[in-house]
Amino acid sequence: MTIAPLAIYAGIVVSGPSVRRAVLVAAVYLASRVLDHRTRAWQGAGIAASLMLVAWPLDLRDPGFELTFGAAAALLVLSERLVLPPGWPRAARWATAAVAASLAVEFALLPVQAAAFSRITLAGVALNLLAVPAMTIVQIAGMATVALDVAHLPASAAGAAADWAARVIVASAAWTDRVPALAPRVPPPHAAVIVGYYASLALVLAGPRRLRLVFAGVTALAAIVMALGTSLPFARGRALPPDAVRLTMLDVGQGEAMAIEASGGRPMLVDTGGSPFGSGLDIGMRVVAPALWARGIASLSTLVVTHGDPDHMGGASGVLASVPVGEAWFGIRVPQHAPGNALLADLAARHVGVRYLRAGTAIERDGIHARVLHPSEPDWERPRVRNDDSVVLEVRCGDVAFLLLGDVSAEVERTIVPRLSPARVRVLKVAHHGSRTSTSQALLDAWRPQLALISAGRGNTFGHPAPEVLQRLDAIGATVLRTDRDGEITVTTDGRDLWWRAFNGERSRLSPEP
């Protein structure tokens, strides 16, 4: 009797993996009861999981699969161990069981949340007291609405109840956005921390009684490590040779973001990516911050915003929400630029200091040595953001220089040529994603970079990088690396030699002639 309504329910709602999993678990369990097998719920869930993995083996890496069966396991363990006094009032018993169930699920899924979604939260313990009853109303009232409509009976009351309950669920979920502290962003934990957490949690439940307190302490310690992101030093690419500098051009599509690291100090991030025309995807939170975490970067000394175009500044708010920043540096202020004003307000709310860079400024920050080559002090107020107001930095490490041009045009390039350092190894961050209006012959003839880096999106509509720019770089013998073709690019130097590698596996070494 129950299996048929389940199948009907699965046919009515939007069919997806989560519905498929839930219905299959219930069908397996109920079918065993029909066949008079007194199977435990554990066995039904295990058979359903096995059948799903046979049919869809890649589901094992699907966070939804992990959430479904992890939550089910937590509830099954709780149902076997939670004993409430029989004399308690019904309301107290329900509230206690609901809170205990939410806590069990949250603790079971803590590493999954951190690894898959870069968040840790216990807010669900309170929010589920609203969401679970509301979801029950949504399901019952929703199915009643369908049935009444099919029978040509008034369904407005049932529909209104379903609508109200759905609004309650959405409103309860929105609290984590209104109060970010309820669901803080965390780096994905190292695999060893996840294994340690689940191993100690299993021993708390099934280990020797005299040692369960010890295992509980280990579980709590692993949870703290995940919450603080202290497993990041195990991430790839963290160690640097003494007195070395590493520049990583992140692959952010048709935008730009670069991390600069020096041995013994916190890194600097130059620009934060974004979409040229804006986007609903938070590049900073979904792309830049995870890329920094993957490199073992837990905090930034400085965030440099070269200028206010959305493909350079669009990810800033997401980065600030994910990674602590010591100070933010800007070029020329544009008072009427709404996104820039919103970013300044965000920085003020986070108590991050702001500094405006001008040509001639020398920078010494966490082992990074740089000079500001542009912009100069403006003599008129900017009504809008301009590419030619981009901050231009020259970063030095011994005989190696990195020239970061932002989006400046050939006109600005010509003004900074006389101030460029005569380094023996020269790395050019090509201006404006390889636009034909930049990377002038005058700049290339004067500085002659051996390595050129271009950040551009695959198949972008702007035609970046322009063929004439690539021809000019090829004519001077420069090696060209592009994020649209090579992916993330990492360049490391000890002040004399230079190593680079790309996400596509290409790597090389460049040593200057004596």
> What is residue 292's predicted lDDT score, i.e. its pLDDT?
93
175 plus 283 within the same structural domain: no
Asked if residue 8 belongs to a domain, the reply is yes
The answer on 292 and 162 residing in a single domain is no
- The reply to whether 142 and 258 lie within a common domain is no
Sheet with 392-397: strands ordered across: 362-365, 368-374, 392-397, 400-404, 425-429, 451-454, 479-482
218 lies in some domain: no
In a domain, 228, yes or no: no
Q: Evaluate if residue 161 carries a pLDDT over 90.
A: yes
Is 84 inside any structural domain?
A: yes
Q: Which of 151, 177, 199 is the last residue of a domain?
A: 199
Q: Are residues 278 and 420 in the same domain?
A: yes
Q: Which of 199, 223, 243 is the last residue of a domain?
A: 199
Kindly give the interhelix angle for 17-34 and 3-12, rounded to the nearest 10 degrees.
170
Least confident span in 164-168, 183-187, 484-488: 183-187
pTM of the model: 0.79
196 vs 45, which has greater pLDDT?
196
**Res 12: pLDDT:** 63
Query: Do residues 22 and 167 share a domain?
Result: yes
The proportion of the chain whose per-residue pLDDT surpasses 90, expressed as a percent, equals 52
Same domain, 188 and 245: no
Is the pLDDT at 235 greater than 60, yes or no?
Answer: no
Is residue 243 within 8 Å of 264, Cβ to Cβ? no
Span 314-319, mean pLDDT? 94
Q: What is the mean pLDDT of residues 159-172?
A: 89
- Same domain as 170, residue 251: no
Do 158 and 248 lie in one domain? The reply is no
Domain C-terminal end among 199, 214, 246? 199
**Element containing residue 226 per DSSP (H, E):** helix 212-228
Same structural domain for residues 122 and 261? no
Asked if residue 278 lies in contact with residue 308, where contact means CB atoms within 8 angstroms, the answer is: no
- Residue 216 belongs to some domain of the structure: no
Top mean pLDDT of 41-55, 150-164, 459-473 is at 459-473
Q: Can you list the alpha helix ranges (DSSP code H) found in 304-375?
A: 310-313, 316-322, 338-349
Locus of tokens 């006389």: 418
pLDDT at 344: 97
Domain assignment of residue 253, yes or no = yes
93 against 18, higher pLDDT: 93
Q: Which residue has the higher pLDDT, 138 or 234?
A: 138
How high is the pLDDT of residue 342? 96
pLDDT value for 384: 94
Q: Answer yes or no: is pLDDT of 513 > 70.
A: no
Those residues with Cβ within 8 angstroms of residue 23's Cβ, 6 or more apart along the chain or in another chain = 6, 7, 9, 10
- Does residue 244 sit in the same domain as residue 115? no
User: How many angstroms separate the CA atoms of 368 and 146, rounded?
Assistant: 65
Of 412, 456, 426, the residue nearest 467 (C-alpha): 456
- pLDDT, tens digit, for every residue of 101-139? 888 888 899 999 888 888 888 777 777 778 888 888 988
Residues 224, 226, 228, 233, CA torsion sign: positive
> Residue range 228-246: average pLDDT?
70
Residue whose pair of structure tokens reads 């949250």 in the numeric block: 106
Across 98-107, 387-396, 492-501, least confident range:
98-107
Confidence of residue 474 (pLDDT cuts 50, 70, 90): very high
User: What pLDDT, in 10s, does the model give residues 402-457?
Assistant: 999 999 999 999 999 999 998 999 999 999 999 999 999 999 999 999 999 999 99
Residue 9 pLDDT level (bands cut at 50, 70, 90) = low
368 or 242: which leads in pLDDT: 368
What pLDDT, on the 0 to 100 scale, is given for residue 460? Answer: 93
Least confident range of 39-43, 48-52, 89-93: 39-43
pLDDT class of 501 with cuts at 50, 70, 90 = very high
Secondary structure class of 255 (helix, strand, coil): coil
The reply to whether 357 and 424 lie within a common domain is yes
Asked whether residue 389 falls in the same domain as residue 446, the answer is yes
Residue 384, number of CB atoms within 10 A of its CB: 9
The mean of the pLDDT values for the chain is 87
- CATH number for the domain that contains residue 417: 3.60.15.10
Is pLDDT of 236 > 60? no
Pairwise CA distance, residues 256 & 250, whole Å: 7
Condensed to tens digits (0 to 9), the pLDDT of residues 358-371 reads 999 999 888 899 99
Residue 140 counted as domain residue: yes
Range of the domain at 190: 3-199
User: Residue 179: pLDDT band by 50, 70, 90 thresholds?
Assistant: confident
What is the model's pLDDT at position 38?
64
* pLDDT tops 70 at residue 333: yes
Tokens of 125: 């313990």
Confidence of residue 39 (pLDDT cuts 50, 70, 90): low
pLDDT one-digit tens code per residue, 138-159: 888 988 998 898 888 888 999 9
How many structural domains compose the chain?
Answer: 2
> Is residue 35 over pLDDT 80?
no
In a domain, 382, yes or no: yes
